[in-house]
Structures are given as structure tokens and as C-alpha cells.
Structure 1
Amino acid sequence: METGWAGRDGSSGQADEGPGGGLARYVVAATLARVADGGAVVAVVLMVTTGGGPGWLAGLLGAAITGPHLAGPFVARALDTARDGRTVIAFACLFHGVALVGAVLVYPYSWVVSILLLILSGLVGPLLTGGVSSRLPAIAGADRRSQRRAQGWDVATYGIAGTVGPSVVAAVVAWANATVAGLVLAGAVVVAAGLMRLLPYAPPAGAASEVPRPVRTLGLMISNGPLRRTLYLTTAVASSVAVLPVIAVASAGALGVGHAAAGVLTAAYGIGGLIASAGLMVRPLTGEADRSMMLFAGAVAAALALVAVTTVFWAAVLAYAMAGLLNSGFFAATLAARSEYAPPAARGQVFVWIGALKITAGSAGTALAGSVITTGIHLPLAAATVLTLAAAAIALAEKR
């Protein structure tokens, strides 16, 4: 019989206010931080391309800010050892903003220095995603329904940031230039830093000596059934849905539309995700998070298969929207699993470990889809469907 760590109820140390006020500030702060984190990649790539730089340099600058996310777990221990985790995240926001400002201002003079600054910015990126989410259990309220509803809001912040961030960058680039866009994003994350400090205080779960080191935390996650399943289901689904933007472009001809219509498909995916997060705010997930993850992973595999067999454009739009909707449900289930199964002394590290591996898996999925798409449009989708379905089946068999 498997045993998991009991999750903290999140009520201790809460400020003398209802969770609603803290949650509202959390949603604004998290959205601003994630807009800056996600939009920065677009800004630096456009900074190179609009300035006449080569494509390889644009890719190098983009990788410089995303690649270091994998090192995030090795800086995340501070979330669990600090006397006030809000200070750690606020500092990460400021650090990200300052490094981004330096990178865009120094680029015309030295792209090497710009890359080094972007690497520093990327190192704290996971603290703006998974690290911020680790604060939510102490804000949302003690009962599970309040926690699950707050997780629906958290899913929405990711969806909004993924849509608004690139859109803001594109608008500012059209109005001014990519350097100004980078400065706007830096301003957003500095505002987020101030709001992070205004979140309700939550004391550390224990003494710093009780907090495991990053590698030890990963080992504990692998040895704990629910967290192990959270880990491999998250990476499988992330790498699978990451093929959709590539497929959207490649399948435009087969669907009888122009390549510009690929934007409609990816927008449908995003809208589906936002609809799901809105639904989760009204009707939070119920039941065991472990089981919910498996069910949603299987449903995502079915949606990917539907995208693969669709030959009509309007049906493809609906299939992409369904994939986005189900993936948001899966994401909410993984947030619940991280909150409820993580050891209190390492909750921040658990959030960041899974978030960092999710980003890495998504990047790998996109790269692999791009490399094999010339072999056949349906090959990446078939592989993604099989991978996700297999992960869900293994998780179900393992739990039983």
C-alpha cells in the first residue's frame, strides 16, 4: 500500500484577512510575473530579427533565457528555507527585471554580454512560475474546495500570460521597437515584485536543517507514488501538447487554408484553456488528484487523436479548443497533486522541480516535432498520442 505525505492545510500563518483579498493580489502578481517570463522570449527574438540579426543568434538568445529553467530546482531550496518566502519570490522578480533590462540595453554593443544576462534572468524564471504557485496553498484557505478553486485561478494566470505576453510584445514592437517591449516586460515584473510582498505571510514549514537538498528532493519525489506519477504524467503531457503549434502550421495546406490560419488553431487552443480555467473557478475539481491526473491525461490523448484525424478546418478548430480545455483540466489536477502530496518542508522545491521539467519536456516536444514533421504530418501527433496514453495507462496500473 502506498503512502504519501500529508499536505498542509495552508491556514496557519495567514494574514488577518479573508483569503479572497490575498487571492486577488496573487492573481494580479502571478499574471504580471508570468507575462514577463513568457513574453521575454518573444521580445529577445524580435530584438534580433527586427534588427537584421541572423536567425541562429535569435535562437541562441531565446535558448539563453529558457534553457536555464532546468537549473531552477537548485535555486528553489531558498523558498523552503527562508523565513519569508515572499521575499525570495519578490527578489527573483526584481532580479529577472534588472537582468532583462540589462540584456536588451547592452545587446547593440555586445550580444555575448546580453546572452550572459539572459542566462541569469532564466535561472530565476522557475521561481516566477512554479515558485509562485507554491505560495497558493497558504493563501487560498484551509478547505480543499477553496484550494481547488484557487488552483483554477492559477491555471487562468498561465493562460492569460501565455496569450497576453506575446500580444503585448507584438503591439509594443509595432508601436516602438523590441527594446522598448523588453523594458515594458521588466516594468511588469517589478510591479509583480511589490505585489508579492503584499501577499499573506506564511511561516516556513520547519527549520532549514530539515529541508532536503534538490537532488534528495527529486529522489523523494520519485519514491513517492503520487508525486512520481505527477512527475512523469506532467512531462508526457507537456511534450505531447507542445507538438500542436508545429502541427497547426504544417497542416494548414491539408485543411485547405493558408498558413496564417495556423494562428486561429493555436488561438482556439488557448481559448479552450481559458474556458476550462473559468469553469474550474465555478466548479473546482473534486475527488482524488492522483486519479484526476490519469483521467485528464487519457482525455488529452483522445483530443490529440481527434486533431490527427480531423480533415476539415472548423472541426480542427474545435479539436484544438478541446485539447486546450482538457490540458487545463490536467494542469489543475497536477497543481492539486503538488499541493496535497508534497512534503511541507520541500513544497517549493516540488513545485519548481515539476515546473522546470515540464518546460524542458515542452521544448523537447516542439523540437522533435519540428525535426520529424517532414516525414509526415501525422507522425508527431501519433507519437504524442501514444506517449500520453501510455503514461496514463502505466499510472493507472501502478496505482492499482
Structure 2
Amino acid sequence: MTEPRTGVVARGRGAGGSRSALPRYVIAATLARTADGGAVVAIVLLVTASGGPGWLAGALGACITAPHLLGPFVARRLDTANDGRRVIAVACLVHGATLAAAVLLFPIAHPLVTAVLLVASGLFGPLLTGGVSSRLPAIAGGDRASQRRAQGWDVATYGIGGTVGPTVVAAVAAWATPAAAALVLAAGTFVAAAFVLLLPYAPPAAQPEDVPRPGRTLLVMMSTGPLRRTLYLTMIVAFGVAALPITAVAGTDLLGVDHAAAGVLTAAYGLGNLAGSAGVLIRPLTGDADGLMTRLATVVAVTLLGVTAAPVFGVAVAAYAVAGIANGYFFAATLAARNEYAPREARGQVFVWVGALKITTGSAGTALAGAIVGVTIYLPLALAIALTAVAAVIAAWERRTRPFSRRAS
């Protein structure tokens, strides 16, 4: 007997009925995640360009990222609503409107007003990431190969959003102003809302009274083996790879290149991530998602070891790219696990819980890497490798010694 699984979600009424559904999804997800990925950069540039102190730029940037942890407490509405598309569309509109208001009021209002508006914007951020992903299973097709190929597209939208968002902000800020850049992002969320509403309708999986509260959903995840492993492997890998940008900057001296070359290293990682998603598109992942996560987490740890061992800049660029590819595949496996193991009545919450905790631990990983990189340049990566390897061993041990798990009800 194997660990219980909920299986791939069945397509809802009208879901998957149009071949244009997936392209519409990709457009909506890319626009939403571009706004989510670029907002922090826009806010920091806005404050610094106005002559504000660094602590204010950091504090306002945190105002839009920290609320992601509260996302699961908003996400229950995804599972109780008769039409989840409307919930996500409203989230896109509110996210964009509050971001635009914060930017426009910053020069004339007290910073506290801007902070409150950014907190409101950040609160809906998880619905633009994990919330949007929760719609994918219902439109991607009923078989596993179609689902996993679609998840490759989803990974690509995250990669594009995380790369294009800051790039768009930098370009528009240089051409016009940081405020204009933020307004471009806000406009993107409005367009995303329209495309979300164009996605096929999928009926709710359960009656509202059957949908668990956020705390209960987290307990279900912790007590269900595959979901528990999805959660802690996602968090630890996110914590580890978050050290790469810090290490890229700190390691340029050892590699004998200028500090500006760190941008090449981080770009190589980002392009590798996109290459990983392309690989999933061309050849979808096969096999059990639970086991895939464990194996791919191990691969990520090995690639991080390759980054620390790179003797020259050219090899380091390749190592960063390979790490990005590995993380792209790992991320696709975690999306598959969320889809295949989440209880139908709490699917949206599971997606958002994992996404919110991933962002939180990633931020913590960046902060810790910045704090300890001065001790030894590769100490953050050494810690990341150790934690990821231990987590993979624990996950493999759990799967071997605890073959049964309480199924969510």
C-alpha cells in the first residue's frame, strides 16, 4: 500500500475546452508575476531617487514582501468562492491599485501612508503567485503528461516575472522615473485581471462549509507525508538558493573579476532557471512527484557545491546556470506535488501556503547570507548545501520508513 494521493484534479465544466486557455493563462501569470517581482525594486528606486534614506527604502520594500506570509489567510476565499477567477482578478486589481496609490502619494503624504498601502498590496501578492497557479490544474488537461507540461509553462512565468519585472523597472526608471516604472507594473496587473477572467470556469471542489480554515489546512499539510515534504523541501531549497546573489557579489574578488560581473552570474542563474522550465516543456517530468522532489533537491545541493568549487569566472558562469536549471526542475516537481497531493477542498490554500512560506524563507536566506558572508565568502552556500542535503536525506528516510500517511478529509 502506498501513501495516499488525491490524484490529478479533474477538469471542471468548460475547463480545457479551448486550446487558447493555456496561452491566456501564461499571459495572465506572466503579467501578474512581473508586477510582483518588480514591485520591490520600483519602491527602493523611488525612495532613493527622491533622496530618502536607505533604511526607509528597505522598510518600504519589506512592507510589500513581508505580508506574503499572511497570504494563506486570504487564500481560503479561493476554495470557497463559486468562481475563483473573480477572486484572483480582484486581487490583481487591488494589488495594482494600492501599488499605484502608494507611489503617487509618496511625494506628498507621510511615509506611513505609503507603508499601509504597500502592506495592502503585498497582502494580495500571494494570490498573484500561488493563487494563479492553483487555477492551472483545471485547464491543463486531465492526464499527468499534460499537467506537467503545463507546469513547465508555469515555472517559466515565474522565471520571466522574476527577471523581466526588475529589468522593466530599471529600464523605465532610467528612461522616465521610478514612479512611472511602478505605474507600468500596476497597469500590468489590470491587464492580468482581464486575462484571468478569460480563463475557463471551474466549479468549486467543495461546499464552503467543507473548506478548512488556514490553520487547519497547514495542520493537514504537516500530517500528510507528501505535502509535508513538499513544504519543507521547498522552503529549504528556497533558503539555500537565495544565497546565490550575495555569493555572486562577494565571490568576484576570488574569481578575479570586477564586482559588476556579479550581474552576469545572477543572469546565468536566471537563464538556467528558464532553461529548466523549457526542459520540462519539451520532456515533462515522469514518475512520482514525491520522489522527484527528493532527488532533485539533492541535485540542487550538488550544483551549489559546483558553484563553490568553480576556479575561474567562466566555470562559475556555467555553474550558476546549471544551478538555475536544477532549481527550475525542482520547482516544477513541487508544483506537481501541490497539484497531485493537495486535498481538493483546500487546493488553493495549499498552493498559497507553500508559495508564501517559500518567499518568506527565501528572504530569510538572503538576509542571513548577507550577514555571514563576511566571515567566509562561501559560508552561506556551505550552509545551504548542508541543509538541503540533510532535508533530502530526511525526506528519503520518511518515504522509506513511513509509507502510510493520514489522508486529508
TM superposition score category, shorter chain reference? over 0.9
Q: How big is each residue's C-alpha offset from its partner over 1:118-155, in whole Å with a ceiling of 9 and x where there is no partner?
A: 00000000000000000000010000100000000000
- TM-score where L is the length of structure 2: 0.96
Q: Which amino acid aligns with 1:32?
A: L
d(CA) in 1 for partners of 2:294, 2:384: 16
Q: Is the 2:238–2:361 Cα contact (8 Å) retained in structure 1?
A: yes
d(CA) in 1 for partners of 2:145, 2:235: 26
Q: Which amino acid aligns with 2:51?
A: G
CA drift at 1:310: 1.2
Q: Which residue of 2 aligns with 1:261?
A: 261
Q: Which residue of 2 aligns with 1:156?
A: 156
d(CA) in 2 for partners of 1:307, 1:281: 26
d(CA) in 2 for partners of 1:326, 1:5: 25
Q: Which residue of 1 aligns with 2:403?
A: none
Q: Which residue of 2 aligns with 1:318?
A: 318
Q: Which residue of 1 aligns with 2:64?
A: 65
CA drift at 1:9: 3.0
d(CA) in 2 for partners of 1:153, 1:11: 18
CA drift at 1:4: 2.8
CA drift at 1:221: 0.2
Q: Which amino acid aligns with 1:275?
A: A
Q: Which residue of 2 aligns with 1:222?
A: 222
d(CA) in 1 for partners of 2:381, 2:357: 21
Query: CA separation of 1:43/1:335 partners in 2, compared to 1, >3 Å: closer, same or farther?
Result: same
Q: Which amino acid aligns with 1:48?
A: V
Equivalent residues in 2 for 1:217-256, closer than 5 Å: 217-256=217-256
CA RMSD of aligned residues (A): 0.9
d(CA) in 1 for partners of 2:211, 2:233: 25
Q: Which amino acid aligns with 1:97?
A: G
Equivalent residues in 2 for 1:211-360, closer than 5 Å: 211-360=211-360
Q: How big is each residue's C-alpha offset from its partner over 1:49-79, in whole Å with a ceiling of 9 and x where there is no partner?
A: 1111100000001000000000000000000
Q: Which amino acid aligns with 1:234?
A: T
Equivalent residues in 2 for 1:66-105, closer than 5 Å: 66-105=65-104
Q: Is the 1:14–1:138 Cα contact (8 Å) retained in structure 2?
A: no
Q: Which moved more, 1:111-120 or 1:8-17?
A: 8-17
d(CA) in 2 for partners of 1:4, 1:335: 18
d(CA) in 2 for partners of 1:202, 1:213: 21
Q: Which amino acid aligns with 1:295?
A: R
CA drift at 1:112: 1.0
d(CA) in 2 for partners of 1:277, 1:147: 13
Q: How big is each residue's C-alpha offset from its partner over 1:179-226, in whole Å with a ceiling of 9 and x where there is no partner?
A: 111111000000000100000100000100000000000000000000
| Structure 1 runs (4+) greater than 2 angstroms displaced | 1-5, 7-10, 14-18
Q: Is the 2:16–2:138 Cα contact (8 Å) retained in structure 1?
A: no
Identity %: 64
Q: Which residue of 1 aligns with 2:51?
A: 52
CA drift at 1:16: 7.1
CA drift at 1:15: 4.1
CA drift at 1:324: 0.2
Q: Is the 1:67–1:122 Cα contact (8 Å) retained in structure 2?
A: yes
Q: Which residue of 2 aligns with 1:124?
A: 124
Aligned to 2:139, what secondary structure does the other structure show? helix
CA drift at 1:2: 5.8
Gaps of at least 5 residues in structure 1 are: none
Equivalent residues in 2 for 1:354-373, closer than 5 Å: 354-373=354-373
d(CA) in 2 for partners of 1:32, 1:291: 32
Q: Is the 1:94–1:193 Cα contact (8 Å) retained in structure 2?
A: yes
- TM-score where L is the length of structure 1: 0.98
Q: Is the 1:250–1:377 Cα contact (8 Å) retained in structure 2?
A: yes
Aligned to 2:89, what secondary structure does the other structure show? helix
How many equivalent residue pairs? 399
Gaps of at least 5 residues in structure 2 are: 401-409
Q: Which residue of 2 aligns with 1:176?
A: 176
Q: Which amino acid aligns with 2:187?
A: G
Q: Which residue of 2 aligns with 1:43?
A: 42
Q: How big is each residue's C-alpha offset from its partner over 1:314-367, in whole Å with a ceiling of 9 and x where there is no partner?
A: 000000000000000000000000000000000000000000000001000000
Q: Is the 2:99–2:117 Cα contact (8 Å) retained in structure 1?
A: yes
Note if 1:204 corresponds to 2:182: no
CA drift at 1:5: 3.8
CA drift at 1:300: 0.3
Q: Is the 2:212–2:346 Cα contact (8 Å) retained in structure 1?
A: yes
Aligned to 1:253, what secondary structure does the other structure show? helix
d(CA) in 2 for partners of 1:377, 1:317: 17
d(CA) in 2 for partners of 1:149, 1:383: 33
